[in-house]
Amino acid sequence: MRTITVVVFVLLSALVLVSGFASATDPEKRVKECKHQCKQHKGYTEQEREICRSQCEKEFEESGGGRRHEDPEKRLRECRESCPEGRGQTRALCRFRCQQKYGQGKGDVGGGKYYYDVEEEEKEEMFGEGGEEREETPYVFRDEHFLTKARSQHGRVDILQRFTEKSELLKGIENYRIGVLEANPQTFVNPGHFDADGVLFVAQGRGTFTIIREDRGRTTSRSEIKRHSFNIETGDVIRVHAGTPAYIVNKHESQKLVIINFIRPVNAPGTFEAFHGAGGENPESFFRAFSPELLAAAFKVDRESLQRIFQQQQEGTIMKASKEQIRALTHGEEGGGIWPFGGESSGPFNLLHRRPVQRNKYGQLFEADPNEFEQLEDLDLMVSFANFTQGAMAGPFYNSKATKIAYVVDGEGYFEMACPHVSSTRKGRRGQSGRAEGSRQGPSYGQVKSRLTRGMVFIVPAGHPVATVASTNSNLQVLCFEVNARDNFKFQLAGKNNVMSKMESQALELGFGVPAREVEKIFRNQNEEFFFPGPEMQQQRRRGYSDV
């Protein structure tokens, strides 16, 4: 009897302890503190302490942080809302943890279907549909796949790992890399050049971009080099040839400058480096690799004065600049202009000021293709930007020749792609007809599906049908670098102008094995082109109509 009373008493105390720490944020810390209190409790025997300690753990597990009596749905929602806005993976992971903690569907809390569904959704968010652990698709890259090249309180430079490190399926794009530069307000990005060609896209902010480049004189065969500075703003596309010295100023008072880089190394496939002349210890100046007597001779100065200038810099690649310095660096720049109507053909042009190639109320698609833009010609690159209205979708469609490297600039959503190279993760779809698996011939298409959040990269190989859907909470903005783009065509598989709607009824009848009218009814129903209302948007509408 006494034991029972003690146990009950200890349990109650543990509950009090647990809830007492409910305000602390880190759950692990809370358990630790709870256990510590058990230990400190003077009146407990060792056995009671043990019960108390295990109860600390159990309470947290079961009640999801000691808030047992609150509405579980609310707890889950609050936890999810407390997750950071920031870049994809962190947020998804945080939300996934909330789900594991508060929405487990065990015991008396959270046993409803709602929790199960959400859990599935979170799993999908993390791993793609049906993914258990990190059985990742080869086509999706998140935060953890970026390597930090430079990071300081003033900004960061991250480079995505080589595509072939993830999968041999990406061999076709192994010579390309993706980088992200973020410079805080009122900063300077140290001058340097790369052994790589680059195309820069300004995803956010304003700044000044300066390059030193060759100016071939019209009248003489001698070429000279000259400094060119450009105002840059959101939507600008800038071609930087390999080896071109360049530097960047973020002159904005409060806004970050974010630049997404498409990089094609010129020395070795997939590998490149930055070369800083101006520098010291950090960034290191390449001049330091030369012997002092050689440099002294080359510059015609004494060795002592040389030593000083190559030892001072410690600030890193991105550094704070004073207002005066920024003013001096940003005066007299050339206007970016919309090439070919302003500025030079080699200057930046603004992708978002062009006329969209697709536009309706569900989204806009902007494109700059290599047939039209000389600067993109030798890279055989198309740069495009898709802006999805919240809840809208695009596709399915496929690129005839180009492989798309897509970067999620902002917003949330998901994409689905049919791929013959990955095994199907879709459950319950196949084999429903009862036919033996063995009797099927030809390829089988796996579904690649992933949640998309800001900062993620996904790849869509040529010929692979793909569709992208924006979340119902936010617009989705996707920047695409499409390589092998010359004479590429986007074949649409739904909507006005879809491939199937151009085939003869006999071809459809034979192809699908059902009467042509049935097929046509499906493929001719959608009147919009390219961008459509997404699945949830459609459902909401249908519900809306039936309510009336």
Ligand X SMILES: *[C@@H]1O[C@H](CO)[C@@H](O)[C@H](O)[C@H]1NC(C)=O
Where do contacts with ligand X occur on this chain (CB under 6 A)?
Answer: 352, 387, 389, 475, 477
Residue indicated by tokens 């009090």: 16
**Spatial CB neighbours of 192, under 8 Å, sequence gap ≥ 6:** 245, 246, 247, 274, 275, 276, 277, 278, 283, 317
- For ligand X, give the closer residue by CB, 352 or 357: 352
Q: Cβ of residue 201: shortest distance to ligand X, in angstroms? A: 12
- For ligand X, give the closer residue by CB, 229 or 234: 234
Helical H runs in 64-187?
A: 72-81, 88-102, 113-127, 163-166
- For ligand X, give the closer residue by CB, 19 or 390: 390
**Spatial CB neighbours of 286, under 8 Å, sequence gap ≥ 6:** 275, 276, 277, 279
**Spatial CB neighbours of 436, under 8 Å, sequence gap ≥ 6:** none
Q: Cβ of residue 477: shortest distance to ligand X, in angstroms? A: 6
Q: Cβ of residue 364: shortest distance to ligand X, in angstroms? A: 6
- For ligand X, give the closer residue by CB, 231 or 387: 387
Query: Is the four-CA dihedral 510, 514, 517, 523 of positive or negative sign?
Result: negative
Residue indicated by tokens 């800001």: 454
Burial 83-97 (b: 16+ CB within 10 A, else e): beeebbbbbbbbbbb
- For ligand X, give the closer residue by CB, 379 or 392: 392
- Count CA atoms within 13 Å of residue 239 on its CB side: 20
C-alpha 106: how far from chain center: 34
Residue nearest to ligand X according to CB distances in the complex: 387
Q: Cβ of residue 259: shortest distance to ligand X, in angstroms? A: 15
- For ligand X, give the closer residue by CB, 175 or 387: 387
Tell how strand 392-399 and strand 403-410 pair up. unpaired
Q: Cβ of residue 347: shortest distance to ligand X, in angstroms? A: 21
Closest CA to 383 of 276, 495, 494, 478: 478
- For ligand X, give the closer residue by CB, 72 or 391: 391
Residue indicated by tokens 């993760």: 425
Q: Give the three-class secondary structure for 16.
A: helix
Task: Quote the CA–CA distance of 260 and 351 in Å, as a whole number.
Answer: 14
Q: Cβ of residue 466: shortest distance to ligand X, in angstroms? A: 20
Query: Is the four-CA dihedral 195, 198, 204, 206 of positive or negative sign?
Result: positive
The strand pairing partners of 268, in sequence order, are 271
Task: Quote the CA–CA distance of 411 and 405 in Å, as a whole number.
Answer: 17
Q: Cβ of residue 355: shortest distance to ligand X, in angstroms? A: 12
Asked if 372 contacts 487 with a C-beta cutoff of 8 angstroms, the reply is: no
Residue indicated by tokens 């630049």: 259
Q: Cβ of residue 102: shortest distance to ligand X, in angstroms? A: 33
- For ligand X, give the closer residue by CB, 204 or 540: 204
What angle, 0 to 180 degrees and rounded to 10, lies between the N-to-C axes of helices 505-512 and 516-523?
A: 100
- For ligand X, give the closer residue by CB, 375 or 390: 390
- For ligand X, give the closer residue by CB, 207 or 411: 411
Closest CA to 463 of 533, 401, 545: 401
Q: Cβ of residue 348: shortest distance to ligand X, in angstroms? A: 16
CB atoms within 10 A of CB 123: 17
Dihedrals φ, ψ of 153, to 5°?
-70, -10
- For ligand X, give the closer residue by CB, 391 or 461: 391
Q: Cβ of residue 410: shortest distance to ligand X, in angstroms? A: 8
Query: If you ran DSSP here, which 8-state letter would residue 271 be given?
Result: B
Closest CA to 166 of 529, 422, 546, 338: 422
Task: Quote the CA–CA distance of 249 and 320 in Å, as a whole number.
Answer: 10
- For ligand X, give the closer residue by CB, 184 or 387: 387
Q: Give the three-class secondary structure for 527.
A: coil
Q: Cβ of residue 258: shortest distance to ligand X, in angstroms? A: 13
**Spatial CB neighbours of 66, under 8 Å, sequence gap ≥ 6:** 15, 18, 19, 21, 22, 30, 59, 60
Q: Cβ of residue 352: shortest distance to ligand X, in angstroms? A: 5
- For ligand X, give the closer residue by CB, 399 or 477: 477
Q: Cβ of residue 367: shortest distance to ligand X, in angstroms? A: 13
- For ligand X, give the closer residue by CB, 92 or 406: 406
- Count CA atoms within 13 Å of residue 293 on its CB side: 0
Q: Cβ of residue 82: shortest distance to ligand X, in angstroms? A: 28
Residue 1, token pair as written in the block: 């009897």
